[in-house]
A and B are shown apart, each in its own frame.
Chain A
Amino acid sequence: MIHISKRKEMPMAQAAAIRLGAIALALVVCGIITAIVTGLNPIKVYASMLNGAFGSQRKIWILLQETAILLCVSLALTPAFRMKFWNLGGEGQILVGGLAAASVMIVWGSRFPNPVVILLEIVAAIAAGAAWALIPAIFKAKWNTNETLFTLMMNYVATQLVAYFVIKWEVPKGSGKIGIINQSTEIGWLPQLGGYKYLLNILLVALLTVGMYIYLNYSKQGYEISVVGESTNTARYVGIKVERIIIRTLIISGAICGFAGLLLVGGTDHTITTTIAGGRGFTAVMVAWLAQFNPAVMVGSSFLLEFMGRGAGEISTAYSLNHSFGDILTGIILFFIIGCEFFINYQIHLSKKGKEAESGV
């Protein structure tokens, strides 16, 4: 007979062992499925996965850059999530941030000197992202509307907005896209550090991670966020103005999403498309949850997701498999990682029914 009960607490080491065990088990299951379905040697498949992520210096840089952007978006969502405000609008907030940066580059690129353009770009991207999050925040604070739906819908508005401007500013006419902005002058492009294209982004996000960790855990505002997230009644009881905290926190959340949009448009892509956010607004939800809203752990969880995504892409090209096969492997690994939380929170008892009854007094 199986009996399930909730655990009270588990030592850190034991929980870590369960998580590592889950990953190991996931790799074994993936290997078996790979062997059965494709007939390939799973070890070789794993090797090419590693190769896809770490195979060359360029691949490593791209992996780090992608991790940084995903981490940036996850950090943006975290303060809202800690407050139990489910900001699913990361996608839209990145888009409007990127759009604002692109607009500055296009409209003011030839009017101001480069440093001024970059400064305007940063301000515009952050302000746009913040504004995009502020709208649902105000509605939540004043009328308690459902933030999940509201932020989600704002994504579609943002996509359409970008689509409109892409057509308006398309280069060349009729191509339906904006090419590289200011390609010849490079005005409004964020500077490259030491000749490395991605280094600046990575360093900025690293700083942001440390800053967010300190903000959430050691600042008075971070403490207020935790109190509001746990109980708005308690917050009111100690005189915290809940509406203000909701609005303030969402401005921060949206601003960082807008900043991610800036890094994408100003730092790496130098153009804007409707798909520039690339689903990161949603992947970041998973990153944040996997890390239980701890910015330090998010470094690991965003790296893991990016690594698996890139590895999966590599094996589908290397073995000319359908891209979905990579997704299957990613899905299995995530299933085990998330599923193992069950064993950390719950205990399973297998009772020896017959034996116990006989030994009874």
Chain B
Amino acid sequence: MSDRQPAVRMRGITKEFAGKVVANKDVNLDIYRGEILALLGENGSGKTTLMNMLSGIYYPDHGSIEIDGKHVTIGSPKDAFDHGIGMIHQHFKLVNVFTAAENIVLGLKDKGKFDLAAASERITEICRTYGFDVDPNQKVYNMSVSQKQTVEIVKLLYRGAEILILDEPTAVLTPQETDKLFAVLRNMRDDGKAIIIITHKLNEVKDISDRVVVLRKGEYVGEMLTSESTTEEMTTMMVGRQVELNIDRPRPVNPKRRIRVHGLTVRNSEGILKLDNVSFSVYSGEILGVAGISGSGQKELLEAIAGLQPVEIGSIEYVNDDGTIDQLIGKDPLEIASLGVALSFVPEDRLGMGLVGSMDLTDNMMLRSFRDGISPFTDRKAPKELAEKVVEELEVNTSSIETPVRRLSGGNVQKVLVGREISSSPTVLLTAYAVRGLDVNSSYMIYDLINKQKANGTAVVFVGEDLDVLLELCDRILVLCGGKVSGIVDGRYTSKKEVGLMMTKLGGGEG
């Protein structure tokens, strides 16, 4: 392999932030055409920073970059593009009110007059070549996440990108959408493009990549050929030690009905039906998984239980220890708490809903409890102790508890949020995509925390996207399909295929 000319040759790349945080140190990396390279590493290992230097967002402090054997200076995304490098970020950069085609040609300075029809034709041509499914005339705001991602990829190809970088492209996709993405990535590879995918889902690394390069703490630690290595070897190299990749699933102890949802129907603010006659129960000491294609009503379901979502009809009953029943519908989170219902909620949007990004750890710990006491002033002593406890027990990586949470990495943000939510010893714990964007270590720590809650008799609702995890962690799995309950299956005796079918078709039957 080393006799081939690499498309990209990065040598001795070092990048520091604010003169103290070393994001990358002396990294060497070769990227070849006709190859899918997986860049693997834990959160904060410098994967994204490294790729941002290749795509012109950051500029390295030291080191050199060669493209096709020629030295280049990449000082801006435009420079990167002139060398055929394009990157798909986790957050898409599309104009919502424009069509796919308009977004794709946006900012291009072609000679001659602006010809959208010709552009559309070329877009269709690209789609045919690689197997994309894009309607050039569809407006972006009408698109699903997966379609938007496709537009981003086509945009790069349209502009002649030869080297494509994808930053955690599957984090927002369903298994089916992921398969589709991987199929086009393979087509692009076979066409001679160089593809780099940043990820920490090992199954996907196994599935899609040809070669794996591992970063740890900003440094290059090694590489391997995917076909000749196991996921265990990858994890060990990534984490630096052997990691147990099994999730515990003890049998629920003495389960009692905790929450009973009956005939729940919810419309969103635009009047679109998001939940349709949903009924189920959650028991103490169990983890109820919720599976479904993204946007099938998971968000509305959790928010309805948490008192954040107006409900059209239906009932949500909370069963107290003494058998009495409280109706949760029509109550806001404060009223629910004042009933004595210890309900915790880890929402999908961590910094937009669960935490306040600009506030430090102490002030974020206070969000739930700041009203305590009759004094008109806030008491920061208990929240400060809680922040210190969470940092220590959950191994949150932060310079101090005075750091704004926005500055923490995704995994640490989640630890802070989960830490606060379980600190009140909830009887009900709702979690939405609790491990999205988290590395292996942090993910397993979160599973562990959730399992501890289960052992304490908490009724846990775990909305997830990774079916492998749902099948390993949950006692029962409720599958949503278009806002309806497609079925509730036993996590111990079901299969990925069965759940996958139920996600796309009510009841999951073949015929």
| A binding-site residues for B, Cβ under 8 Å | 1, 3, 5, 7-10, 214, 218-221, 223-224, 226-227, 230-231, 233-234, 236-239, 241, 349, 351, 353, 356-357, 359-361
CB contact under 8 A between A237 and B378, given known A8-B17, A351-B59 = no
**How far is it, in angstroms, between the C-alpha of A231 and the C-alpha of B364 when the chains are bound?**
13
User: CB within 8 A of A237: which of B17, B63, B308?
Assistant: B308
Cβ contacts under 8 Å, B307 to chain A: 239
For B318-333 the 0/1 string (1 means CB < 8 A from A) is 0000000000000011
**How far is it, in angstroms, between the C-alpha of A220 and the C-alpha of B369 when the chains are bound?**
11
Distance (whole angstroms) from the CB of A329 to the closest CB of chain B: 35
Tell whether, in the assembled complex, residue A220 and residue B377 are in contact, meaning their CB atoms are under 8 Å apart: yes
Most-contacted residue by chain B among A3, A349, A351 (CB, 10 A): A3
Tell whether, in the assembled complex, residue B357 and residue A230 are in contact, meaning their CB atoms are under 8 Å apart: yes
Interface of chain B residues 36 through 78 with chain A (CB within 8 A): 58-59, 63-64, 66, 71, 73, 75-76
Tell whether, in the assembled complex, residue A231 and residue B356 are in contact, meaning their CB atoms are under 8 Å apart: yes
Q: A230-B359, A360-B64 are in contact. List 10 more A-B contacts (CB 8 A).
A: A8-B17, A219-B378, A223-B366, A223-B370, A231-B357, A233-B352, A236-B332, A236-B333, A359-B64, A361-B11
Tell whether, in the assembled complex, residue A239 and residue B332 are in contact, meaning their CB atoms are under 8 Å apart: yes
User: CB within 8 A of A231: which of B332, B353, B371, B378?
Assistant: B353
User: CB within 8 A of B334: which of A223, A224, A239?
Assistant: A239
List 19 interface pairs A-B (beta carbons < 8 Å), by A numbering. A1-B75, A3-B59, A3-B76, A7-B18, A9-B18, A219-B378, A220-B376, A226-B356, A226-B359, A227-B356, A227-B367, A236-B333, A237-B306, A239-B307, A239-B334, A239-B335, A239-B337, A349-B59, A359-B64
Cβ contacts under 8 Å, A5 to chain B: 58-59
User: CB within 8 A of B353: which of A220, A237, A359?
Assistant: A237
Cβ contacts under 8 Å, A361 to chain B: 11-12, 64
Q: Does chain A have a CB within 8 A of B21?
A: yes
Tell whether, in the assembled complex, residue B353 and residue A234 are in contact, meaning their CB atoms are under 8 Å apart: yes
Tell whether, in the assembled complex, residue A238 and residue B333 are in contact, meaning their CB atoms are under 8 Å apart: yes
User: CB within 8 A of B64: which of A223, A227, A349, A356?
Assistant: A356
CB contact under 8 A between A223 and B378, given known A5-B59, A237-B347, A351-B75 = yes
Q: Does chain A have a CB within 8 A of B475?
A: no
Distance (whole angstroms) from the CB of A215 to the closest CB of chain B: 9
Cβ contacts under 8 Å, A223 to chain B: 363, 366, 370, 378
Q: Does chain A have a CB within 8 A of B345?
A: yes
Which residue of chain A has the shortest Cβ distance to B21 in the bound complex? Answer: A8
Tell whether, in the assembled complex, residue B370 and residue A220 are in contact, meaning their CB atoms are under 8 Å apart: yes
Distance (whole angstroms) from the CB of B497 to the closest CB of chain A: 36
For B8-23 the 0/1 string (1 means CB < 8 A from A) is 0001100001100100
Tell whether, in the assembled complex, residue A234 and residue B64 are in contact, meaning their CB atoms are under 8 Å apart: no
Cβ contacts under 8 Å, B59 to chain A: 3, 5, 349, 351
Q: Does chain A have a CB within 8 A of B251?
A: no
Cβ contacts under 8 Å, B363 to chain A: 223, 226
**How far is it, in angstroms, between the C-alpha of A233 and the C-alpha of B333 when the chains are bound?**
12
Cβ contacts under 8 Å, B347 to chain A: 237
Q: Does chain A have a CB within 8 A of B354?
A: yes
**How far is it, in angstroms, between the C-alpha of A299 and the C-alpha of B280 when the chains are bound?**
59
Q: Does chain A have a CB within 8 A of B496?
A: no
Tell whether, in the assembled complex, residue B352 and residue A231 are in contact, meaning their CB atoms are under 8 Å apart: yes
Tell whether, in the assembled complex, residue B73 and residue A357 are in contact, meaning their CB atoms are under 8 Å apart: yes
Tell whether, in the assembled complex, residue A351 and residue B73 are in contact, meaning their CB atoms are under 8 Å apart: yes
**How far is it, in angstroms, between the C-alpha of A356 and the C-alpha of B12 when the chains are bound?**
12
Distance (whole angstroms) from the CB of A141 to the closest CB of chain B: 16
User: CB within 8 A of A234: which of B66, B76, B352?
Assistant: B352
Cβ contacts under 8 Å, A7 to chain B: 18
Tell whether, in the assembled complex, residue B73 and residue A356 are in contact, meaning their CB atoms are under 8 Å apart: yes
CB contact under 8 A between A236 and B17, given known A349-B59, A351-B75 = no
Cβ contacts under 8 Å, A241 to chain B: 332
**How far is it, in angstroms, between the C-alpha of A218 and the C-alpha of B349 when the chains are bound?**
27
**How far is it, in angstroms, between the C-alpha of A349 and the C-alpha of B17 when the chains are bound?**
13
Q: Does chain A have a CB within 8 A of B122?
A: no
Cβ contacts under 8 Å, B368 to chain A: 238
Q: Does chain A have a CB within 8 A of B355?
A: yes
Distance (whole angstroms) from the CB of B306 to the closest CB of chain A: 8
Q: Does chain A have a CB within 8 A of B407?
A: yes
Cβ contacts under 8 Å, A224 to chain B: 370
User: CB within 8 A of A230: which of B11, B73, B308, B356?
Assistant: B356
Distance (whole angstroms) from the CB of B198 to the closest CB of chain A: 20
Cβ contacts under 8 Å, B354 to chain A: 234, 237
Distance (whole angstroms) from the CB of A229 to the closest CB of chain B: 9
**How far is it, in angstroms, between the C-alpha of A149 and the C-alpha of B63 when the chains are bound?**
52
Distance (whole angstroms) from the CB of B44 to the closest CB of chain A: 13
Q: Does chain A have a CB within 8 A of B358?
A: yes
Cβ contacts under 8 Å, B352 to chain A: 231, 233-234
Cβ contacts under 8 Å, B366 to chain A: 223
CB contact under 8 A between A219 and B376, given known A234-B353, A360-B64 = yes
Cβ contacts under 8 Å, A353 to chain B: 73
**How far is it, in angstroms, between the C-alpha of A257 and the C-alpha of B106 when the chains are bound?**
47
Cβ contacts under 8 Å, B335 to chain A: 239
Which residue of chain B has the shortest Cβ distance to A240 in the bound complex? Answer: B334
Which residue of chain B has the shortest Cβ distance to A231 in the bound complex? Answer: B352
Distance (whole angstroms) from the CB of B60 to the closest CB of chain A: 9
**How far is it, in angstroms, between the C-alpha of A236 and the C-alpha of B333 when the chains are bound?**
8
Cβ contacts under 8 Å, B376 to chain A: 219-221
**How far is it, in angstroms, between the C-alpha of A337 and the C-alpha of B389 when the chains are bound?**
42
Tell whether, in the assembled complex, residue B333 and residue A234 are in contact, meaning their CB atoms are under 8 Å apart: no
Tell whether, in the assembled complex, residue A238 and residue B367 are in contact, meaning their CB atoms are under 8 Å apart: yes
Tell whether, in the assembled complex, residue A234 and residue B367 are in contact, meaning their CB atoms are under 8 Å apart: yes
Distance (whole angstroms) from the CB of B343 to the closest CB of chain A: 11
Distance (whole angstroms) from the CB of A282 to the closest CB of chain B: 26
User: CB within 8 A of B333: which of A8, A10, A237, A360?
Assistant: A237
Cβ contacts under 8 Å, B345 to chain A: 237
Cβ contacts under 8 Å, B17 to chain A: 8
**How far is it, in angstroms, between the C-alpha of A239 and the C-alpha of B334 when the chains are bound?**
5
Cβ contacts under 8 Å, B332 to chain A: 236, 239, 241
Cβ contacts under 8 Å, B358 to chain A: 230
**How far is it, in angstroms, between the C-alpha of A360 and the C-alpha of B73 when the chains are bound?**
11
Distance (whole angstroms) from the CB of B348 to the closest CB of chain A: 11
**How far is it, in angstroms, between the C-alpha of A214 and the C-alpha of B377 when the chains are bound?**
9
Cβ contacts under 8 Å, B357 to chain A: 230-231
**How far is it, in angstroms, between the C-alpha of A341 and the C-alpha of B257 when the chains are bound?**
57
**How far is it, in angstroms, between the C-alpha of A237 and the C-alpha of B306 when the chains are bound?**
8
Tell whether, in the assembled complex, residue A8 and residue B407 are in contact, meaning their CB atoms are under 8 Å apart: yes
**How far is it, in angstroms, between the C-alpha of A230 and the C-alpha of B354 when the chains are bound?**
12
CB contact under 8 A between A234 and B356, given known A220-B371, A223-B370 = yes
